[in-house]
């Protein structure tokens, strides 16, 4: 049996029956990381001793019959989530020696269930990017084709799940960073409703848009992860006081034809977007037919403000980022340039050396757009557009339960192809940004392969707090499509 191929749910079953131990399972992943991660570069930190110790502890608990669905299951964490005692870099030089004194709430929840935290994954610096090329440390490669990007910013987590370096992972999504890399790597990624999952201990990029969510091998595992990470947290004032349903139980009720009664809307503006790859359109069309075959009624809807989404997002996100990143000043955290005459020079040198070019670009855009005289014209206006986008979604969801779209206009592009052209990179976020602007949940589910053999996902979005519909539809779709090839062969 290939232990590294197990889903979280299957690993749990085998652990519970005593067929495998967590130490065996964890060692299988560590061996695979050792054998292949020098080429894929999914991890910034692999915590081998920590993971093996946690696995041994999990095995003791399992032997006593004390186990939860996560006990002994190896999980990878995007290196933007604080882990007590384990370096948390945000893929930035400014934090390359930062060891948090506390755990993010999601990390604490995984630890409380004795999951095995195998390591911290690579990302675009501070989650700013769509390809994981903006990391200060390394470029992660797509396990399906090493010349291509894995997507981003949670590219390390998506690549780690696709390359079978862990059972599942956590990523974060501010404008698509869970869904887009999941699509590019052929795995499942879910961005929960804003407020569903506590952001405590997640290093903030754009606080009104950021959410943590699962990146997993299949939809059932995404449901399992959601059961654990969702819920109100007094440490995050934006976390919602909403009951968390048992997502896994709900999936068990999905029989092959039971998507009947669901309506999925396709925004007419989305198909007018320029530059959609023909392979993406073909796979999208097939996905639509698969859903129809399951009884989903497809309707045309309109999201009239789609053409303003990218512009508004790329004002709001940098504004929030410029404010959030002010805390990295060489005094309180991480790197400091000591060779300075006075404090102003120290700030300047620390930030110039500590932050990479994309992060500096965003801080400058954000600071400019928030400055006196420009605030109303940029941030104020973008916020008004955001309200219009939210209203578009509210109206659309009067007509349908799901909104269906591609995840990205193209399959994973080649490494280096877009790095010199930030605007093209920003435009590739067109289908994912709206969910964050409107605060609604979205999922990416594998939909097939491009003619070059690269994975492509489809996106479904739902009303706020209706992750249940996403998971049910995703689960039905995944089973009906029944892709035979799910994981790349690593050479
Ligand atoms: N690509 C988008 C950006 O660069 C989204 C990133 C994200 O979701 N973290 O801002």
Angle at 186 between CA 183 and CA 187, to 5 degrees: 85
Whether residue 71 contacts residue 62, with contact meaning beta carbons closer than 8 Å, is answered with yes
Q: Whose CA is closest to atom 4 on ligand 1? A: 129
Burial class (CB in 10 A: 0-12, 13-18, 19+), 398: exposed
User: What CATH class is the domain 3-261+407-419+442-481?
Assistant: alpha beta
Total Cβ atoms within 10 A of residue 451 = 10
Q: Which two tokens stand for residue 267?
A: 């925004």
pLDDT of amino acid 255: 66
Q: Which two tokens stand for residue 103?
A: 């755990």
Measure the CA–CA gap between 241 and 193, rounded to whole angstroms.
12
Residue 403: name the closest of 427, 428, 438 by CA. Answer: 438
Query: Is the minimum distance from the CB of 269 to ligand 1 under 6 angstroms?
Result: no
DSSP labels, 339-399: --SSHHHHHHHHHHHHS-HHHHHHHHHHHHHHSTTTTIIIIIHHHHHHHHHHHHHHHHHHH
What's the predicted TM-score (pTM) here? 0.98
Dist. CA 134 → ligand 1 center (Å): 11
| Length of the chain measured in residues | 491
Going residue by residue through the chain, which has 491 residues, state the pLDDT in tens, using 9 for 90 and above. 799 999 999 999 999 999 999 999 999 999 999 999 999 999 999 999 999 999 999 999 999 999 999 999 999 999 999 999 999 999 999 999 999 999 999 999 999 999 999 999 999 999 999 999 999 999 999 999 999 999 999 999 999 999 999 999 999 999 999 999 999 999 999 999 999 999 999 999 999 999 999 999 999 999 999 999 999 999 999 999 999 999 999 888 776 567 999 999 999 999 889 899 999 999 999 999 999 999 999 999 999 999 999 999 999 999 999 999 999 999 988 999 988 999 999 999 999 999 999 999 999 999 999 999 999 999 999 999 999 999 999 999 999 999 999 999 999 999 999 999 988 899 899 999 999 999 999 999 999 999 999 999 999 999 999 999 999 999 999 999 999 888 999 97
In 10 A of CB 113, how many CB atoms? 17
Nearest to 44 by CA among 73, 84, 72, 76: 76
3-class state of residue 300 by DSSP: strand
Residue 263: enclosing H or E segment and its boundaries?
A: strand 263-267
**Residue 391 backbone dihedrals phi, psi, to 5 degrees:** -65, -35
Query: 353 catalytic, yes or no?
Result: no
Using the mean position of ligand 1's atoms as its centre, give its distance from the Cα of residue 459 in Å. Answer: 16
The atom number, within ligand 1, closest to the CA of 314 reads: 10
Structure tokens at 411: 């399959």
Q: How confident is the model at residue 378, as a pLDDT?
A: 96
CA angle, 329 then 119 then 439, to 5°? 65
**Ligand 1 atom showing the smallest separation from residue 177 Cα:** 8
Q: Which of 78, 93, 120, 191 is catalytic?
A: 78
Instruction: Using most ligand atoms within 8 A of CB, pick from 79, 123, 130, 431 the residue to mutate for ligand 1.
Output: 130
Tokens encoding 423: 């605007």
Count Cα neighbours of 75 within 13 Å in the Cβ-side half-sphere. Answer: 36
pLDDT at residue 271, rounded to an integer: 84
Query: What DSSP designation does 271 have?
Result: G
What does the DSSP assignment read for 212-237? EEEEESSHHHHHHHHHHHBS--TT-T
Annotated catalytic residue: which of 21, 130, 153, 405? Answer: 153
H or E element: which one contains 289?
helix 278-293
Q: What local confidence, expressed as pLDDT, does residue 258 receive?
A: 77
Q: How many A from CA of 474 to the centre of ligand 1? A: 23
Partners of 170 in the β-ladder:
77, 214
Is 177 among the residues known to form the active site?
A: yes
Q: Is 210 in the pocket of ligand 1 (CB under 6 A)?
A: no
Q: What string of DSSP letters covers 63-129?
A: HTT---TTTT-EEEEETTB-BTTB---TT-GGGTT---SS--HHHHHHHHTT-EEEEEE--SGGG--
Cβ(176) to ligand 1 under 6 A? yes
Is residue 472 within 8 A of residue 259, CB to CB? The reply is yes
- Nearest ligand 1 atom to the CA of 358 is 4
Among this protein's residues, is 111 annotated catalytic?
A: no
* pLDDT given for residue 256 in this prediction: 59
Q: What distance in Å separates the CA atoms of residue 134 and residue 356, rounded to the nearest whole number?
A: 8
> What is d(CA 222, CA 7) in angstroms, rounded to the nearest whole number?
10
Cβ 130 under 6 angstroms from ligand 1? yes
Any atom of ligand 1 within 6 Å of the Cβ of 125: no
CA distance 315 to 113: 39
Instruction: State the closest ligand 1 atom to the C-alpha of 176, by its place in the atom list counted from 1.
Output: 8
């Amino acid at each position: 049996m290939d232990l590294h191929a197990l889903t979280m749910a299957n690993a749990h079953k085998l652990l519970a029956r005593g067929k495998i131990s967590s130490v065996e399972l964890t060692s299988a992943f560590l061996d695979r990381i050792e054998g292949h991660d020098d080429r894929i570069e999914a991890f910034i930190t692999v915590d081998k001793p920590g993971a093996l110790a946690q696995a041994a502890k999990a095995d003791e608990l399992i032997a006593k019959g004390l186990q939860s669905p996560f006990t002994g299951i190896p999980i990878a964490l995007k290196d933007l989530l604080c882990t007590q005692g384990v370096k948390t870099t945000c893929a930035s030089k400014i934090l390359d020696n930062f060891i948090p004194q506390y755990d993010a709430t999601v990390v604490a929840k995984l630890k409380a269930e004795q999951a095995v935290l195998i390591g911290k994954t690579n990302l675009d610096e501070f989650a700013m990017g769509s390809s994981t090329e903006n990391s200060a440390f390394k470029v992660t490669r797509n396990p399906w084709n090493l010349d291509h990007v894995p997507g981003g910013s949670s590219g390390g987590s998506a690549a780690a799940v696709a390359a079978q370096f862990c059972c599942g992972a956590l990523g974060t999504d501010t404008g698509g960073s869970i869904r887009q890399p999941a699509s590019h790597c052929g795995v499942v990624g879910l961005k929960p409703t804003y407020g569903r999952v506590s952001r405590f201990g997640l290093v903030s990029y754009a606080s009104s848009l950021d959410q943590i969510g699962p990146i997993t091998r299949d939809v059932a595992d995404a449901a399992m992860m959601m059961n654990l990470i969702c819920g109100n947290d007094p440490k995050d004032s934006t976390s919602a006081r909403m009951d968390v349903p048992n997502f896994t139980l709900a999936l068990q009720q999905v029989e092959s034809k039971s998507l009947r009664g669901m309506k999925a809307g396709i925004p007419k503006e989305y198909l007018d977007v320029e530059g959609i790859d023909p392979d993406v359109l073909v796979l999208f069309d097939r996905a639509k037919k698969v859903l129809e075959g399951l009884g989903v009624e497809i309707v045309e809807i309109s999201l009239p403000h789609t053409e303003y989404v990218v512009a508004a997002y790329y004002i709001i996100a940098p504004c929030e980022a410029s404010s959030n990143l002010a805390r990295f000043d060489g005094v309180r955290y991480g790197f400091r340039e000591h060779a300075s005459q006075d404090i102003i020079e120290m700030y300047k040198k620390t930030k110039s050396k500590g932050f990479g070019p994309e992060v500096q670009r965003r801080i400058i855009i954000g600071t400019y757009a928030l400055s006196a005289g420009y605030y109303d014209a940029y941030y104020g206006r973008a916020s008004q557009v955001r309200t219009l986008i939210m209203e578009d979604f509210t109206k659309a969801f009067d007509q349908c339960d799901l909104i269906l779209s591609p995840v990205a206009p193209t399959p994973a592009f080649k490494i280096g192809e877009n790095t010199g052209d930030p605007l093209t990179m920003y435009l590739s976020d067109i289908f994912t940004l709206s969910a964050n602007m409107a605060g609604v949940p979205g999922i990416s589910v594998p939909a097939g392969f491009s003619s070059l053999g690269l994975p492509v996902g489809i996106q479904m979005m739902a009303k706020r707090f209706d992750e249940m519909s996403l998971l049910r539809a995703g689960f039905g779709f995944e089973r009906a499509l029944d892709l035979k090839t799910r994981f790349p062969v690593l050479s």
